[in-house]
Amino acid sequence: MTIPDHPPGHVPDAGDAFITCTCGSRHWGRFGAAGLLLARRPVAPQVLLQHRALWSDQGGTWGVPGGALRHGEEPEAGALREAAEEAGVDPLGVTVVGHHVLDHTAWRYTTVVAHATGPQAPRPTDRESLAIAWVDEPDVVELPLLPAFRTAWPALLGMLREGVA
């Protein structure tokens, strides 16, 4: 099955393209990519995850809302923009507590780690998501996760816990 570079009806940005990395893998985002790992602590700690559309690269897996950076865009700004576009996250209700970078020299993915500090009504807001859901922290590893997110999860969870006020 061929995975399209863009969802139907998408108007691509210059950064919206796959690159072949020096690691031998194909990655999304000519200028790198970023995503937002947003946590909240109502009763039990939860994180906001995206169930990726089947047509997308590694579709059907769960990860964070995110995507390709635009030319000159800082990872934090890109992660907040992508989370707003894909999951309806209000950036005014987000406090960033850290960054986790997967650095392949020729390509980088930055996970922006944050806490919800204001009301959020996340939901799928474009065709890139099958679902957007608050997931209890212990249940995250039970989901079919995007492989790179699964690898990064222990470090990301540690960052979330360290960033609790």
Write down the pLDDT at residue 5.
47
The residue assigned the tokens 């570079």 is: 5
Write down the pLDDT at residue 21.
67
pLDDT digits (tens, 9 = 90+) for 21-58: 677 676 666 676 788 999 998 767 999 999 999 988 88
Write down the pLDDT at residue 123.
97
At residue 83, what is the residue type? Answer: A
- What Å distances lie between residue 39 and 24, 27, 49, 99, CA to CA? 33, 26, 10, 14
Write down the pLDDT at residue 12.
58
Lowest mean pLDDT among 65-69, 117-121, 133-137, 160-164: 160-164
pLDDT digits (tens, 9 = 90+) for 85-142: 999 999 999 999 999 998 877 778 899 999 999 889 999 999 989 999 999 999 999 9
- Do residues 58 and 146 touch, judged by C-beta distance below 8 A? yes
Write down the pLDDT at residue 29.
61
- Do residues 100 and 152 touch, judged by C-beta distance below 8 A? yes
Mean pLDDT of 49-70: 92
**What's domain 31-162's superfamily in CATH?**
Nucleoside Triphosphate Pyrophosphohydrolase (3.90.79.10)
In the chain, DSSP finds a helix count (H) and a strand count (E) of 2, 9
Task: State yes or no: pLDDT of 69 exceeds 60.
Answer: yes
Q: Where are the domains of the chain?
A: 31-162
